[in-house]
Structure 1
Amino acid sequence: MRVLVCPDKFAGTIPAVEAAGAFAAGWRNVRPGDDLILRPLSDGGPGFAGVLAAALPHARVLTVAATGPLGRPAQGHVVLDGATAYIESAEACGLHLLSGEERDPKHTTTFGLGTLLLAAVEAGATTLVVGLGGSATNDGGAGLLAALGAAPLSASGFALPYGGAALIDCAALGGVPRLREATLVAATDVDSPLLGLHGASAVYGPQKGATRQDVFQLDAALARFAGVLQALPTAPPGLADLPGAGAAGGLGAALLALGGRVTSGIGLVRELTRLDAELEEVSLVVTGEGAFDEQSLRGKVVAGVANAARDLGVPCVVVAGRIDAGRREAASIGVTEAHALVEHFGSVAEALARPADGLRELGERLAVQWSR
């Protein structure tokens, strides 16, 4: 058999590259003669830089000293492929950089991402593709703009503290962002607007540590900041309502205000990894992620892979940490069957502690099943 193994990361436990390797190792234990093609994927969130660094044959990777969501040192990477740079926002403002007690989007910042963008421009990149997802921030990209020389200011002309809450007092930006006219692209499959019930604060704020009261406070602050962003000459009309403006705590809005555009994260990665061409040559595709749920059905890695496999008539198996999506909904996007580590181990704690072992064991089991 020729099998394509192309999972996303299992958030909080194992990156996509290791997940693919673990599953493939199990399969090869049972059927060493099969041809397994490993294509770890990302939709723009954690793992985006590593996936593209591995997939692009001529890419070079710059390691950049940046800062995390609370200002601590963090190491980021710029993946350069010709004049295009690929940057993962989660490396500078990701939720995984904080402990549970530290999560508070009222104070976290995207400043470190601005450092990565500047490094890409200094390296000669003229197109900056920023993967959005997995952020610990809700500052509408205010920290990013500060790093680019356009710090948010109060009505009195003082620079505001970092974090989303302080933006309620934002009156202007204190400069022009310095990007040497580089083109910006936001790679994300989040289509949320910036504000309201379906916006950045309401939908994603709670998972970043926001209380119910914090959500109202942050949404009001982003509404104020949206008016400031709208005044930029490169900002499109109706900025706050555009799909993707709410991605990564409003980072999408900042990139759009700087003249950027939004593209599908999984669509971009599918193209760059030549996933569709690989699908035409295989008899089975295996994908997966930490939680296969309703969000997975709306444009994340699993949906992108399953849709492409369905169009080519290739069976698609999902392996996940847990499965919350219904069978009928999964089948509607092209999923043939799904298997969960939680069910395999019989324990959530075990699934979280031993994801590589579980994926290897599922690989062995599915190799027997599908060889029949």
Structure 2
Amino acid sequence: MRVVIAPDKFAGTLTAVEAAAAIAEGWARRAPGDELVQVPMSDGGPGFVDVLHAALGGELQAVTVRDPYGVPVPASVLRVGTTAYLECAEAVGLHLTAPEDRRAEHGSTYGLGELVRAAVTGGATRVVVGLGGSGTNDAGAGLLAALGATCAAGSLVEGPAGLAEVAGVDVGPARDLVAGVELVTASDVDNPLLGITGATKVFGPQKGLPDERLVVVDGWLQHFAEATDRKLAARKGTGAAGGLGFALQLLGAEQTSGVALVAEAVRLADVVAGSDLVLTGEGAFDFQSRSGKVPYGVAEVAAAQTVPVVALAGQVLVGAREMRALGVESAYALVDLVGEERAFAAPAQALAELAERTARTWSR
């Protein structure tokens, strides 16, 4: 039988490419005669560039940029023809800073602006930015500053705290830099910039903002929006990646689904056509997976071809009814097979074992 292997990353343990390889290794041990097609996936978060490079080839350009607190970090721009792909997590990712060192009120997106600038000055006429896994919450003010935006008061480069007194913001130079360039954001977050469903309230705590500071920080972002484009702040997707969606839409970016963009780029529908089974997966398979996560996106593609989908995950936190609502026939968890400690200590080996066991049920 023909089996398509299309997982996302297992956050903190395996990239999508590594996860696909581990699943293929384990499945082949049990069913060596099956045809296995690896198609690592991403929703625009960490691993976005890695997945696209594996599928599309292209040239990787190394760029050194600032992390949220000004420390130099390596990042990359993937050039495929005149299109440049990059991801915010490489420049301003939450994983770049240890929890005890995070100062979320001062984290800046300047480094991502440096990455966008490198892509544009390198000749790209289309720039696709994967938004996900960010450790910042400055509404993209730092990114705009790196591209040339200025302000008469306050600061665009000191994180959300710098926006408390911001005034006289001029986005014109940043818009001039990207004039004639098609900007696309790859994200499945539909939150607006502000308010109870906005970037700060929903995602701020996971970036280190205490609950008692959320209203204050949201007020700073509102002040910045009023100094730039208050109406835009209500648009879907402007709250993605701590408000990076807002800044990029200020520059004219079009938002698109990260999973859908990757699925199209890797021709997932064509690969799935004629297959007998699709294996997908992620670190935690829960009902939030419906909000633009890889398993749900893969299941949608497979459903159009009437191909069943099985999920392998670190943890499975949904029941059979919810699973079916997500378009998945069955799901199996690493922690149930090998325990949580081993799942983290030897994730590739554990995932291969889970795939081998799954093949006993699903391979012909």
Q: TM-score range by the shorter chain?
A: over 0.9
Amino acid across the alignment from 1:70: Y
Distance 1:23 1:213 in 2: 43
Equivalences for residues 18-97 of structure 1 within 5 A: 18-57=18-57, 59-97=58-96
Aligned to 1:235: none
Amino acid across the alignment from 1:45: G
> Do the aligned residues in 2 keep the contact of 1:132 with 1:186 (CA within 8 Å)?
yes
> Do the aligned residues in 2 keep the contact of 1:142 with 1:152 (CA within 8 Å)?
no
Aligned to 1:299: 292
Amino acid across the alignment from 2:40: P
**Deviation at residue 306 of structure 1 after TM alignment:** 0.9
Distance 1:159 1:297 in 2: 38
> Do the aligned residues in 1 keep the contact of 2:155 with 2:163 (CA within 8 Å)?
no
Within the alignment, does 1:267 sit opposite 2:260 as a pair? yes
Within the alignment, does 1:315 sit opposite 2:308 as a pair? yes
Distance 1:153 1:351 in 2: 52
TM-score scaled to structure 2, two decimals?
0.96
Aligned to 2:349: 357
Aligned to 2:163: 167
Moved more, 38-47 or 97-106: 97-106
Distance 2:256 2:129 in 1: 10
In the alignment, structure 2 segments of 5+ residues that lack a partner are none
Amino acid across the alignment from 1:30: R
**Deviation at residue 20 of structure 1 after TM alignment:** 0.6
> Do the aligned residues in 2 keep the contact of 1:310 with 1:333 (CA within 8 Å)?
no
| Secondary structure, aligned partner of 2:332 | strand
1:253 to 237, 246, 249: 246
Distance 1:118 1:200 in 2: 24
> Do the aligned residues in 1 keep the contact of 2:77 with 2:85 (CA within 8 Å)?
yes
| Secondary structure, aligned partner of 1:169 | coil
Distance 2:344 2:125 in 1: 40
| Secondary structure, aligned partner of 1:299 | coil
Distance 2:286 2:309 in 1: 16
Distance 1:153 1:292 in 2: 47
Distance 1:200 1:149 in 2: 24
| Secondary structure, aligned partner of 1:113 | helix
The two structures, once aligned, show a CA RMSD in angstroms of: 1.5
> Do the aligned residues in 1 keep the contact of 2:4 with 2:39 (CA within 8 Å)?
yes
> Do the aligned residues in 2 keep the contact of 1:90 with 1:135 (CA within 8 Å)?
yes
> Do the aligned residues in 2 keep the contact of 1:165 with 1:217 (CA within 8 Å)?
no
| Secondary structure, aligned partner of 1:7 | coil
Within the alignment, does 1:13 sit opposite 2:19 as a pair? no
Q: Deviations over 1:75-94 (max 9, x none)?
A: 11111111111111110000
Amino acid across the alignment from 1:51: V
Amino acid across the alignment from 1:33: G
Amino acid across the alignment from 1:265: G
Distance 2:41 2:151 in 1: 35
Within the alignment, does 1:130 sit opposite 2:129 as a pair? yes
**Deviation at residue 107 of structure 1 after TM alignment:** 1.2
Amino acid across the alignment from 2:189: V
Amino acid across the alignment from 1:164: P
Q: Percent identity?
A: 50
Distance 1:371 1:207 in 2: 40
> Do the aligned residues in 1 keep the contact of 2:155 with 2:162 (CA within 8 Å)?
no
Distance 1:20 1:246 in 2: 31
In the alignment, structure 1 segments of 5+ residues that lack a partner are 232-237
Q: Deviations over 1:2-33 (max 9, x none)?
A: 11001111111111100110111111112222
Aligned to 2:2: 2
**Deviation at residue 45 of structure 1 after TM alignment:** 0.4
Distance 1:313 1:287 in 2: 15
> Do the aligned residues in 2 keep the contact of 1:140 with 1:222 (CA within 8 Å)?
yes
Aligned to 1:333: 326
Distance 2:180 2:150 in 1: 18
> Do the aligned residues in 1 keep the contact of 2:145 with 2:156 (CA within 8 Å)?
no
Q: Deviations over 1:131-190 (max 9, x none)?
A: 000000000001101111114442xxx545511122121113256212243221111001
Q: Deviations over 1:18-69 (max 9, x none)?
A: 0110111111112222111001110100000111111114x21111111211
Moved more, 14-23 or 220-229: 220-229
> Do the aligned residues in 1 keep the contact of 2:312 with 2:355 (CA within 8 Å)?
no
Aligned residues: 361
Q: Deviations over 1:198-253 (max 9, x none)?
A: 1101111111111112211211111111112218xxxxxx2111111000000000
Cα gap change, 1:152 to 1:43, in 2 (>3 Å): farther
Distance 1:239 1:294 in 2: 29
| Secondary structure, aligned partner of 1:106 | helix
Q: Deviations over 1:298-340 (max 9, x none)?
A: 2211110011112221110111111223321220121000111
